[in-house]
C-alpha cells in the first residue's frame, strides 16, 4: 500500500478502526458485524461530502485489516465519476492492528496540524484518540458494539459538517461543542487513564477478553453523561437519572446483587439485544473536579466497556469528572447554520 510523508498541513485526519465491533458482546448478543466493505462505503461517502464542502486534503491511518487497501481501489474507480474527493495521504507508520496504531496515528495527526480528526470506531477507539490529543476536534462515526459516545449518523452529513469547519466556512465558536470525560487515577496518579462515557468497577481480577457484558461481577458505574436511548453501561444511568452530554456534572451509581442493600431493580439494555436486570443500592450526582474514591478493595476498572486497569487491596482508585475536556464537531449545529447562512446556495446567472 503506498504511503506518503506529510508535506504541509492536511485539512482533516481519518482514523478508521478495521476491527471495531468484533468483541465477545457481538457473539453473545447476536449483533451484526460491520464488514470492511461497509466501512469503506462510509469513508467514500464522508470523503465525497467533505470534498464538496471544501476539504482538499486528508491524512489517514494505514491498516492491515483491508480498509486502506480497499479504499485506494475504490477511489480509483470513483474518481472516474468526477466526485470531489480530497487528496488522500497515508501516515508513514507501520500498522500493528492494535490500539497502538490509534495512539500513534493521533499523535502524528496532531503534529501534522490537522483541523479535525474523523474517527470510525466504537467508544474505545474514540477514547484512544482523545487520550493522545484533547486539543483537536473529533467527528465521530459509529462502527463499534456499544456506541454511547459516537452518534449514529449518515456519513454524508458528517462529511459536510466537517468540511464546513475544516475549510473555515464556520468558526470554532459556531461548529464545535465541549465534552466531558472521566479521569481515573490509581495511587495518586501512579497509573492514569480516561473514559469518555463510563468507568465501571468489576470484581474480576483479570483483563481477559476486555469486553464487559456480565452484570454479576459489577459493583459501581461512573458516568460522564447518560442518555435513555443509549446501549451499554451508560443506559443504566440513562434510565435511572438522565444526564445530558452538554449538561453539568455526571452520575455515580452503586450496584448490588443482594436483596438487603438493594433499593431498586432496573431493566437496562447493557449490550445489543441484551436487556438485563440491574440491582441498584445508591446513586448520586458527580460534580466536576470532585474525586470519587472507589470502595471495592480489588478488581478491575473497565473504561467505556473494556477492562483496562486492575487494582489490588491497598490501591487507591479515584474517578473525577472533567468538564470542557475536549471538543467535537456539532454536526446538527453546523448543518443548521449552513441552512441559515445559505452556505450551500449557488445561484445561476440569468441571461
CB atoms within 10 A of CB 334: 26
Residue 215 clears pLDDT 80, i.e. is over it: no
Q: What pLDDT shows up at residue 348?
A: 62
- How buried is residue 36: exposed, middle or buried, by Cβ count under 10 Å (0-12/13-18/19+)? middle
Distance CA 54, CA 48 (A): 10
- Point out the least confidently predicted range of 25-39, 61-75, 130-144: 25-39
| Paired strand residues for 116 | 12
Residue 68 phi/psi, 5-degree rounding, is: -65, -45
Q: What pLDDT shows up at residue 50?
A: 96
Confidence of residue 62 (pLDDT cuts 50, 70, 90): very high
Beta strand 57-60 with 87-90: parallel, antiparallel or unpaired?
A: parallel
Return the higher-pLDDT residue of 20 and 346: 346
Confidence of residue 343 (pLDDT cuts 50, 70, 90): very high
Residue 81 clears pLDDT 80, i.e. is over it: no
Q: What pLDDT shows up at residue 80?
A: 63
pLDDT in tens, 140-155: 998 876 678 998 899 9
Which residues contact residue 45 at a Cβ distance below 8 angstroms, ignoring those fewer than 6 apart? 154, 155, 156, 159
Distance CA 304, CA 124 (A): 6
Residue 147 half-sphere exposure, CB side, CA atoms within 13 Å?
Answer: 20
Residue 326 half-sphere exposure, CB side, CA atoms within 13 Å?
Answer: 28
pLDDT in tens, 6-41: 445 569 999 998 876 444 444 445 555 678 999 999
Distance CA 336, CA 351 (A): 32
Distance CA 15, CA 121 (A): 8
Q: What pLDDT shows up at residue 213?
A: 56
Q: Name the nearest CA neighbour of 266 among 232, 237, 304.
A: 237
Domains recognised in the chain with CATH numbers:
12-178+326-341 (3.40.50.10330), 180-325 (2.60.200)
Distance CA 24, CA 172 (A): 39
pLDDT in tens, 152-199: 899 999 999 999 999 999 999 999 999 999 999 999 999 999 999 999
Q: What pLDDT shows up at residue 27?
A: 42
Confidence of residue 273 (pLDDT cuts 50, 70, 90): confident
Q: What pLDDT shows up at residue 21?
A: 46
Region 203-221: mean pLDDT is: 72
Q: What pLDDT shows up at residue 3?
A: 46
Distance CA 19, CA 140 (A): 16
- Judge whether 43 and 71 are in contact, CB under 8 Å: yes
Residue 347 clears pLDDT 90, i.e. is over it: no
Distance CA 57, CA 233 (A): 38
pLDDT in tens, 216-263: 889 999 999 999 999 899 999 999 999 999 999 999 999 997 766 778
Q: What is the pTM of this model?
A: 0.88
Q: At what angle do helices 331-341 and 155-166 cross, to 10 degrees?
A: 70
Distance CA 184, CA 310 (A): 12
HEC secondary structure over the chain:
CCCCCCCCCCCEEEEECCCCCCCHHHHHCCCCCCCHHHHHHHHHHHHHHHHHCCCCEEEECCCCCCHHHHHHHHHHHHHHHCCCCCEEEECCCCCCCCHHHHHHHHHHHHHHCCCEEEEEECHHHHHHHHHHCCCCCEEEEECCCCCCCCCCCCHHHHHHHHHHHHCCCCCHHHHEEEEEEEEEEECCCCEEEEECCEEEEECCCCCCCCECCCCCCEEEEEECCECCCCCCCHHHHHHHCCECCCCCCEEEEEECCCCCCCCEEEEEEEECCEEEEEEEEEEEEECCCCCEECCCCCEEEEECCEEEEEECCCCCEEEEEEEEEEEEECHHHHHHHHHHHCCCCCCCCCC
The CA angle 333-137-228, to the nearest 5 degrees, is 60
Amino acid at each position: 500500500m503506498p504511503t506518503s510523508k506529510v508535506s504541509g498541513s492536511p485539512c482533516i485526519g481519518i482514523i478508521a478502526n478495521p476491527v471495531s465491533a468484533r468483541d465477545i458482546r457481538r457473539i453473545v448478543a447476536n449483533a451484526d458485524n460491520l464488514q470492511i466493505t461497509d466501512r469503506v462505503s462510509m469513508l467514500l461517502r464522508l470523503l465525497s461530502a467533505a470534498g464538496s464542502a471544501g476539504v482538499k486534503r486528508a491524512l489517514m491511518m494505514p491498516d492491515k485489516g483491508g480498509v486502506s487497501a480497499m479504499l485506494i481501489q475504490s477511489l480509483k474507480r470513483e474518481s472516474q465519476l468526477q466526485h470531489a474527493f480530497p487528496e488522500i495521504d497515508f501516515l508513514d507508520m507501520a500498522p500493528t492492528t492494535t490500539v497502538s496504531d490509534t495512539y500513534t496515528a493521533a499523535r502524528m495527526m496532531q503534529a501534522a496540524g490537522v483541523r479535525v480528526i474523523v474517527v470510525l470506531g466504537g467508544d474505545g477507539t474514540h477514547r484512544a484518540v482523545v487520550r493522545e490529543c484533547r486539543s483537536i476536534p473529533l467527528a465521530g462515526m459509529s462502527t463499534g458494539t456499544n456506541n454511547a459516545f459516537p452518534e449514529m449518523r449518515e456519513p454524508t452529513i458528517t462529511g459536510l459538517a466537517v468540511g464546513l469547519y475544516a475549510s473555515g466556512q464556520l468558526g470554532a465558536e459556531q461548529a464545535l461543542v465541549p465534552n466531558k470525560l472521566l479521569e481515573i487515577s490509581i495511587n495518586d496518579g501512579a497509573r492514569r487513564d480516561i473514559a469518555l462515557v463510563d468507568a465501571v468497577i468489576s470484581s474480576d481480577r483479570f483483563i481477559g477478553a476486555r469486553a464487559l457484558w456480565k452484570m454479576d461481577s459489577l459493583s459501581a458505574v461512573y458516568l460522564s453523561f447518560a442518555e435513555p436511548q443509549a446501549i451499554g453501561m451508560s443506559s443504566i444511568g440513562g434510565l435511572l437519572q438522565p444526564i445530558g452530554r452538554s449538561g453539568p456534572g455526571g452520575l455515580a451509581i452503586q450496584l448490588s446483587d443482594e436483596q438487603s442493600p438493594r433499593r431498586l431493580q432496573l431493566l437496562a439494555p447493557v449490550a445489543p439485544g441484551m436487556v438485563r436486570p440491574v440491582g441498584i443500592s445508591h446513586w448520586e450526582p458527580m460534580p466536576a473536579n470532585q474525586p470519587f474514591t472507589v470502595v471495592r478493595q480489588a478488581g478491575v476498572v473497565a473504561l467505556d466497556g473494556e477492562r483496562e486497569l486492575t487494582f489490588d487491596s491497598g490501591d487507591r482508585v479515584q474517578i473525577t469528572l472533567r468538564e470542557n475536556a475536549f471538543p467535537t464537531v456539532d454536526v446538527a449545529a453546523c448543518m443548521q447554520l449552513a441552512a441559515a447562512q445559505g452556505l450551500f446556495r449557488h445561484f445561476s446567472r440569468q441571461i
